[in-house]
Amino acid sequence: MIPPKEFIKRIRPFSFLSEDETNILILGLEVKLFQKNKTIFKKGDDRKYVYIIFSGLVGLFDDEIAVDYISKGEIFGIISVRDFPYLLDARALEDTVCYLIYSENFKEVFYKNKRFSSFFSTFIKRRFHSFKKIASEKKFFEEATFVLDIEKIIYKKPVVAGPDMTVENATVEMVNNSISSIVVVDKEMRPIGIFTEKDLRKVVIQGDKLHPISKYMSSPVKTINTKTTIFEAFSKMIDAGIDHLVLIKKRKVFGVITGKDIRIQLEPTSSIITLFRKIIMAKSAEELQVIFNNIKISVAKIVLSGSKFFDLTKMLCTVNDAAVVKVIEIVQDEVSMDDFVWIHMGSLGRKEQVLATDQDNALIFIKTHPVKFARDVNKTLAKVGIPECPGDFMASNKKWNKHLSSWKNYFNDWFHNPTANNARYLSIFMDMRPVFGNDNIYKELIESIRANVTDKAIKALAHDAIHIEPPLGIFGIRGLHKGMNLKTYGIYPIVNGARVLAIDNAIFEITNTEERLKVLNDMGVIGNEMCHDVLESYGFLQDLRLKQQSIAVLNQSQENNLIGIKELRKVDLLILKEALKIVSSFQKLLMSKYDVKRVLSYLHTYR
Amino acid sequence: MDLKDTKFCVIDLETTGLNVKRDEIIAFACVPVQELKLMVNYAYYTLVKPEKYKIESMKYHGISIDDLEKAPSFNEAANNILKTLDGIIVGHSIEFDYMFLKKSFKKIGIKFEKDIIDIILIEKWLAKKDKNMKLDVTIEGLMNRYGLKDYYRHNAFADAFFTAQIFQFETLKLSQYGINSAKKILEIVRGYNYSHYHDNMRIF
């Protein structure tokens, strides 16, 4: 079989096609390479092809405004089958290989195969719908910039120097390349420091330009990896009060990003970044409350404009953490930040914060017991717009505001007596992440946990991950007309499964589900395919949930996790079913690995 | 002539072995390239029934004697093969495939003369221009370099296809150095002599 056919057959909805139908498409197939920045078609051009991307990145533009980004395995130019000319400009943003299918052949298959065409009609409607929205509110798309990987805005190769280069030569390099910093690297291209204009000033005032730069460089250097979003990078700069971050790819220097680079991307100011800055500047809880509500709305809009869970959730988490830290700073008076650490658990702990998340926090102290402080923080957060936890998992609850030694005893007890209730505590607190205060307290607790993990606790947690079976029946998803809880049936089994596998493999400080699965994959605990499939399903389920909640925020109705058949598009329904199947096979893996079964009575007593 | 107006055909063969004198072609694949587009609809692949089948070579190409029994002989397939070989022939270690084709055609009384371009030689030329480039001229290495890494099963058809994609990327790179005609590319590949070439002979 020729490779394009194999490739196409793996893409939904082409997988619905019969052999003959696929051959019709292949019959008119051409493969073309578009150079970066080359226009593929222009608005108003006569339709000739439907495009599938084999590799690269394409942007769709409406009067120079980015409407959509399309990458590997995705299709564009579809609307052309409906006898319209192309409605947008398409431009290659990287060197891009496209498969070109003749519109005529595409049309033939389109009318032949109902399942295939229904996928596209929904798809077309969806794109059309978003076009309309863009026309009325073009500004959404500026915001999508924040969730771009930082890698995408790096356009210069890094200028590097060995530690022995003289200040004089380094300065010449900087001038020649018109840059404000030079990265000092070892032989393996790993960064050992950075020499900036600021450091140069030090030399001018009291130094010698013939000295090696290593004498004046700032070290260690703040680094981020290339997959960090622009937004995260920006907040890291603000936090550290610096203007240069070194980008790392495979532990080697990949580039340098400056505050200016980011500001260029973000200006003209768009709402989120401005609001984020405002959080940092805020003085009172009242101010925060207003800002926070606006952020919720902006985020909801971004979600509906098509951003994906994995990108967004980290941004939401950054915003949320900033708000919490700000509240703590507002409230904090006598309490010393060396004496305690503020902990987030649950989805916040996992950096999987979505819009409807409650407060889930706790406090670990080593000297004085900050009772009033914790209560004030919780109350203020509620006022700001992060609701109190109905289960009372909050630092204001005496039970969750304890001395480090008590926390050690808690975990010890939970691991050694994993009753249903204790297993529940483990699943909540094993997602903990320090947010504010003294990190060393947290680290000491982790070391104590490391020594106390037991097999029976692992088994109990495995039970937790498998005991709810996705409602898959022979006729599709059971009970969907009444609404299905995405959290219970789809998201929890994956989150819980990733957690138990992580704990079992002594991964304690990584709490994010995506990161846990990837590390487990690297360690060989789960295979590539399982890792990929589970992450896809997880992303899809979370996207769906996030979309639901965003609609609720914008309509000012109650946010919830139920999804009903009416809210699902045909395509989503199809994918939802696939996603639940993958959840089910992930559970099977856990069942055989930990030798656990679904027991009816267990299920009844458990929840 | 501009590259866009030149016809190329990217080919790959399977043979019963490495000896041009004794061994025979058992599979032929060709992907035509026009206006620098891969014309998948005109791609052609056929098995070729050899006069003598060598069992031990099956472990390299995976084509069984049963498959070949049903295939046309080179003589029978020659017409179709010749028809698809329209334009400059391109391939990975193409000298090898070219010699096999030449010999096979000669055997049935057809004189076969074509211009050939080896994607390995282009790659070497590019590596000389770009000091940062890591040279790996295996098909897998080239696919990686040009972001073509994909689920991939080794056979003549798939190899011809990916070779064509690599060639597409190479022409893009070449055009950045002002190499924008078939004539100039041919000059480049002819600049490499045989000794330079043979250390890269495909290893089965």
Contact A480/A443 with Cβ under 8 angstroms?
no
Q: Return the SS3 of A134.
A: helix
Contact A191/A253 with Cβ under 8 angstroms?
yes
Residues in chain A: 607
pLDDT at residue A377 greater than cutoff 60: yes
pLDDT of residue A174: 87
Q: Which residues on B lie below 8 Å from A56 (Cβ)?
A: 147
Assess B162–A contact: CB distance below 8 Å, yes or no: yes
Rounded to whole angstroms, the Cα distance separating A458 from A455 reads 5
| Residue B73 CB burial class (10 angstroms; 0-12, 13-18, ≥19) | middle
Assess B151–A contact: CB distance below 8 Å, yes or no: yes
Q: Which residues on B lie below 8 Å from A6 (Cβ)?
A: 151
The alpha carbon of A361 is separated from its chain's Cα centroid by a whole number of angstroms, namely 21
Smallest Cα distance from A529 to chain B, Å = 13
Contact B165 A31 (CB under 8 A): yes
Which of A2, A7, A95 has the CB atom closest to B150's CB atom?
A: A7
Looking at chain A, the whole-number percentage of residues with pLDDT higher than 70 is 80
Contact B104/B25 with Cβ under 8 angstroms?
yes
How many inter-chain contacts (A to B, CB under 8 Å) are there? 58
Q: Which residues on A lie below 8 Å from B36 (Cβ)?
A: 32-33
Q: Return the SS3 of A507.
A: coil
Rounded to whole angstroms, the Cα distance separating A422 from A107 reads 59
Contacts (Cβ under 8 Å, ≥6 apart) of A232: A150, A224, A314, A315, A318
Rounded to whole angstroms, the Cα distance separating A243 from A156 reads 17
Assess B180–A contact: CB distance below 8 Å, yes or no: no
Which residues partner with A472 through β-bridges? A477
DSSP letter assigned to residue A149: B
Return the structure tokens found at B7: 């016809």
| Residue A455 CB burial class (10 angstroms; 0-12, 13-18, ≥19) | exposed
Contact B158 A32 (CB under 8 A): no
Which of A2, A30, A32 has the CB atom closest to B161's CB atom?
A: A2
**Which amino acid is residue A577, in one-letter code?**
K
The predicted model gives B33-58 an average pLDDT of 88
DSSP letter assigned to residue A487: I
Assess A35–B contact: CB distance below 8 Å, yes or no: yes
Q: Which residues on A lie below 8 Å from B169 (Cβ)?
A: 33, 95
For residue B152, the chain A residue with the least C-alpha distance is A3
Which of A1, A32, A35 has the CB atom closest to B37's CB atom?
A: A32
Rounded to whole angstroms, the Cα distance separating A349 from A363 reads 13
Smallest Cα distance from A99 to chain B, Å = 9
Contact B37 A30 (CB under 8 A): yes
Contact B172 A95 (CB under 8 A): yes
Q: Evaluate the CA torsion angle A399, A400, A401, A405 in order and state its sign.
A: positive
Interface list for A 229-268 with B (CB within 8 A) = none
Contact A43/B190 with Cβ under 8 angstroms?
no
Task: Give the position of tokens 């049963």.
Answer: B66
Rounded to whole angstroms, the Cα distance separating A532 from B165 reads 27
pLDDT of residue A138: 37
Assess B158–A contact: CB distance below 8 Å, yes or no: yes
Smallest Cα distance from B27 to chain A, Å = 14
pLDDT at residue B150 greater than cutoff 80: no
DSSP letter assigned to residue A17: S
Contact B115/B89 with Cβ under 8 angstroms?
yes
Q: Which residues on B lie below 8 Å from A31 (Cβ)?
A: 37-38, 40, 164-165, 168
Assess A95–B contact: CB distance below 8 Å, yes or no: yes
> CB-hemisphere CA count at 13 Å for B86?
14
DSSP letter assigned to residue A488: I
Distances (CA, A) of A270 to A233, A236, A267, A273: 16, 19, 7, 6
Return the structure tokens found at B69: 């029994």
Assess B28–A contact: CB distance below 8 Å, yes or no: no
- Which domains does chain B show, CATH number per domain? 3-194 (3.30.420.10)
pLDDT at residue B197 greater than cutoff 60: no
Assess B173–A contact: CB distance below 8 Å, yes or no: no
Q: What is the mean pLDDT of chain A?
A: 81
Which of A6, A30, A100 has the CB atom closest to B151's CB atom?
A: A6
Rounded to whole angstroms, the Cα distance separating B10 from B84 reads 10
Smallest Cα distance from B106 to chain A, Å = 29
pLDDT of residue A567: 66
Assess A26–B contact: CB distance below 8 Å, yes or no: yes
Give tens-digit pLDDT for A520-569.
Answer: 998 989 988 889 889 888 988 888 887 777 777 666 666 666 776 666 66
pLDDT at residue B61 greater than cutoff 90: no
- Which domains does chain A show, CATH number per domain? 3-138 (2.60.120.10), 153-257 (3.10.580.10), 269-448 (3.30.460.10), 453-607 (1.20.120)
Of the listed ranges A295-309, A335-349, B62-76, B102-116, the least confidently predicted one is A295-309
Rounded to whole angstroms, the Cα distance separating A35 from A92 reads 7
* Cα angle for residues B116, B122, B125 (degrees, 5° grid): 135
pLDDT of residue B46: 94
pLDDT of residue A269: 34
CA dihedral A404, A408, A410, A412 (to 10 degrees): 180
DSSP letter assigned to residue A158: P
Q: How confident is the model at residue A268 (pLDDT cuts 50, 70, 90)?
A: very low
Return the structure tokens found at A89: 């400009």
Residue with the bigger pLDDT between A355 and B101: it is: B101
Smallest Cα distance from A20 to chain B, Å = 14
Contact A218/A243 with Cβ under 8 angstroms?
no
Residue with the bigger pLDDT between B47 and B60: it is: B47
- SS3 of A251-313: the string is CEEEEEEEHHHHHHHHCCCCHHHHHHHHHHHCCCHHHHHHHHHHHHHHHHHHHHCCCCHHHHH
Sheet of strand A160-161: strand arrangement: A160-161, A181-185, A191-196
**Which amino acid is residue A177, in one-letter code?**
N
pLDDT of residue B170: 95
pLDDT at residue A93 greater than cutoff 90: no
Q: Which residues on A lie below 8 Å from B45 (Cβ)?
A: 2
Q: Evaluate the CA torsion angle B74, B75, B80, B82 in order and state its sign.
A: positive
Residue A196 neighbours by CB distance under 10 Å:
21
Contact A31 B36 (CB under 8 A): no
Distances (CA, A) of A551 to A296, A298, A305, B166: 11, 12, 11, 46
Task: Give the position of tokens 């055609």.
Answer: B105
Best mutation target among A29, A31, A104 (most B Cβ atoms within 10 Å) is A31
Q: How confident is the model at residue A495 (pLDDT cuts 50, 70, 90)?
A: very high
- SS3 of chain B: the string is CEHHHCCEEEEEEEECCCCCCCCCEEEEEEEEEECCEEEHHHCEEEECECCCCCHHHHHHHCCCHHHHHCCCEHHHHHHHHHHHCCCEEEECCHHHHHHHHHHHHHHCCCCCCCCEEEHHHHHHHHHHHCCCCCCCCCHHHHHHHCCCCCCCCCCHHHHHHHHHHHHHHHHHHHHHCCCCEHHHHHHHHHCCCHHHHHCCCCCC
Assess B168–A contact: CB distance below 8 Å, yes or no: yes
Q: Return the SS3 of A246.
A: strand
Contact A31 B164 (CB under 8 A): yes
Query: What's the ipTM?
Result: 0.84
Contact A141/A66 with Cβ under 8 angstroms?
yes
Give tens-digit pLDDT for A275-302.
Answer: 666 777 777 787 777 777 767 666 666 6
Assess B36–A contact: CB distance below 8 Å, yes or no: yes
pLDDT at residue A235 greater than cutoff 90: no
Q: How confident is the model at residue B202 (pLDDT cuts 50, 70, 90)?
A: very low
Interface list for A 46-85 with B (CB within 8 A) = 54-56
Smallest Cα distance from A599 to chain B, Å = 41
Q: How confident is the model at residue B36 (pLDDT cuts 50, 70, 90)?
A: very high
pLDDT at residue A394 greater than cutoff 90: yes
Return the structure tokens found at A142: 């500026």
Return the structure tokens found at A501: 């596998």
Give the containing element (helix H, strand E) for A207. none
Contact A31 B40 (CB under 8 A): yes
Assess B20–A contact: CB distance below 8 Å, yes or no: no
